[in-house]
Structure 1
Amino acid sequence: MIEGYGIQSGALQQAPQDKASVWLCVAPDAAEQRVLQGSLGIGAQALESSLDPDEVARIEIKANHLFLIWKRPESFDGRAFNVSSFGVVLSEQRLVVICASNSLLSSLASETALKGPLDVLMALLAESVHHYLGHLRVVKQVAREIQQQFTRTMDNQQLAQMYNLSESLVYYVNAIQSNGAVLNLLRSHGQRHGFSAGQLDALNDLVIENEQSYQQARIHAKVFANLIESRGNLANNGMNLALRKLTLINVVFLPLNLIAGIGGMSEFSMMTSGVPWWWSFPALIVGMTLLGAAMVVALRRMA
């Protein structure tokens, strides 16, 4: 799907493609890709890179345009935070956005200070950076909830969620870091090619906010890694305590079983033949009880 937009009164409005300064290309099919290659001169490699969700963020500066790949966060699906890529071809008169989902320009509906294609691009990048920051706040809340559940038994679903979030943060850290490199290169390009002071200030703000989100993502990734490690240590500690109790029970009852086995045979009756059985057997039980209690006290002191 290919849609055209124009900038009127500082806002994006749909416009015919021959008058559009902003093109949105959502998952273009083969015919639409031929239109993009023929009418706008976009190469096949740029199209393929823009639609590849695993493409690394980068920027390529050409003679009459620049091409960049940007990593943006996807909506949270309740299990993990995912990232995807979209491509942008920017020239003086036109901005072409190539993506796999139709959720990019809809976020700019409230913008009222757009003047040209470059402003649209910077608004897209700013929305993406703010989206990362919003997701990181959700990650922080989830981490707190998981920490509160550490005192209780966690089922497999909760453990799987913790592992998924930890993996998501690894991808977040990588995506935000590569986006930061793109912003730095774009700022350097703007300083050399006459970006306005306001645009350079906006780029500087984006660089700072992106660095803040990168640091937060690193901290949250470390927190989740520590949570996973702590959960494993707690499980091992619980297993060690259970084995210790079982070992204590075995150590106490092994000699008692031996004595009980001897008492259940004729040797005990022979040794206590001169004592009535209603005295000898209760005395055996009392002696075994006292021996077991003494062994428990001794083992606890040794531990």
Structure 2
Amino acid sequence: MFNRLEIRDRKLAETDDENAPILLCTDPTEEERAYLIDGLGIDLHTLASSLDPNELGRVEFEPDHAAIIIKRPKQYCSEDNFFFKISSVGIFMFRERLVFVVSEEGLRFEGKHFQQIRNLEDVMLKVIFRCVWHFEEHLNVFNMIAEELEQKVNTSMENKHLLHMFTLEKSLVYYLNAIGSNGRVIERIRASINRLGLTPEDCEFLDDLTIENAQCQEMASTYSQVLSGLVGARVSVVSNNLNVTMKRLMLVTIGLMVPTAIFSIFGMNVKLPVVEQSGAFGFWIVLALAAASSGVVFMVSKWMKW
């Protein structure tokens, strides 16, 4: 699907012009791919890399344009089951045209950074900044989910919540790799300022982008280390919760075994002096002995701090 945009009053606005300076291609069909390859001269392999979530970020220069592959978080849905995925964004910078290629919807040109747009190079840098900022948003969600799972694991004997924490830890590894890949792309852009035609204002924004991505990578690394430690500790917590429950069940079993033994003794088909001499009160005497034995078991368990 093609969305065409233009810079109008220093903001991005949709247009129906076939030669619009900004073209957003979402999950292109075969016909749209043919237009990108034959009409715009985009390399087939580079176009496929833009749609491949496993492709690493990079910067390549063709005779008439520059190709940039950047990473961004994929939109999360409940079916992912706590696994956060990565997708790619292909940016093709021509002299008078800017083309974005993505595999799914979610690349939005909104927020305060898209309020004052100077040129196409500025749009390119702000889209990269948007991807970095999207990673930071997901990392904050990671932290909230990890805290919620931690509370559930503390009182749980099931592996479900623990497996969710393992999945989050795996996702953070992919996020760290993607953020590091973006950092290398930003460094390559910095080294190619003249070839990309960046202005001093663009270079200043690129410095801010470098700092933002470094902070994002540090945040992801910190969360990964903390979550890794939590997972190891929570494995022991789940095992300890199970041991505590087994101990309580053992105490209940012992508490039931002693009264059962008393009922069995007095229920034997033989003459017992206590029952014979007590008459109708024999039932209450046996019941009192059974209750007293359960009380003794309870008191002993408290005294020994079982």
**What residue identity is the alignment partner of 1:46?**
T
- TM-score in terms of structure 1 length: 0.76
* Superposed CA RMSD: 4.0
Q: Distance in 1 between matches of 2:150 and 2:245?
A: 23
Regions of 4+ moved over 4 Å = 154-157, 191-194, 239-250, 300-303
Q: For residue 217 of structure 1, report the CA deviation from its aligned partner.
A: 0.9
Cross-structure match for 1:39: 39
Q: Distance in 1 between matches of 2:176 and 2:8?
A: 37
Count residues in correspondence.
300
Q: Deviations over 1:128-175 (max 9, x none)?
A: 111111121122222222333343126554334323322221111111
Cross-structure match for 2:298: none
**What residue identity is the alignment partner of 1:136?**
L
Q: Aligned to 2:110, what secondary structure does the other structure show?
A: helix
Note if 1:206 corresponds to 2:185. Answer: no
Q: Distance in 1 between matches of 2:98 and 2:124?
A: 8
**What residue identity is the alignment partner of 2:38?**
G
Q: Distance in 2 between matches of 1:25 and 1:248?
A: 67
| Sequence identity (%) | 32
Change (3 A) 1:243 1:90: same
Q: Deviations over 1:1-49 (max 9, x none)?
A: 223222121112224122x111111112112111112221111112111
- Please point out which of 175, 193, 201 is paired with 1:172: 175
- Which deviates more, 189-198 or 161-170? 189-198
Note if 1:120 corresponds to 2:140. Answer: no
CA contact (8 A) 2:23 2:99 kept: yes
- Please point out which of 121, 136, 140 is paired with 1:137: 140
Note if 1:67 corresponds to 2:63. Answer: no
CA contact (8 A) 1:11 1:109 kept: no
> Which ranges in structure 1 are unaligned for 5 or more consecutive residues?
251-299
Q: Describe how 1:85-96 pairs up with structure 2 within 5 A.
A: 85-96=88-99
Cross-structure match for 2:293: none
Q: Distance in 2 between matches of 1:85 and 1:185?
A: 17
Change (3 A) 1:144 1:238: closer
Q: Deviations over 1:225-253 (max 9, x none)?
A: 22211111122334555677899999xxx
Change (3 A) 1:247 1:15: closer
CA contact (8 A) 1:3 1:17 kept: no
Q: Distance in 1 between matches of 2:236 and 2:61?
A: 50
> Which ranges in structure 2 are unaligned for 5 or more consecutive residues?
254-301
Change (3 A) 1:117 1:215: same
- Please point out which of 93, 102, 107 is paired with 1:99: 102
Change (3 A) 1:209 1:119: same
Note if 1:17 corresponds to 2:18. Answer: yes
Q: For residue 96 of structure 1, report the CA deviation from its aligned partner.
A: 0.9
Q: Describe how 1:169-248 pairs up with structure 2 within 5 A.
A: 169-190=172-193, 194-240=197-243
CA contact (8 A) 1:11 1:110 kept: no
Q: For residue 105 of structure 1, report the CA deviation from its aligned partner.
A: 3.9
Q: Distance in 1 between matches of 2:33 and 2:52?
A: 15
Q: Distance in 1 between matches of 2:182 and 2:208?
A: 14
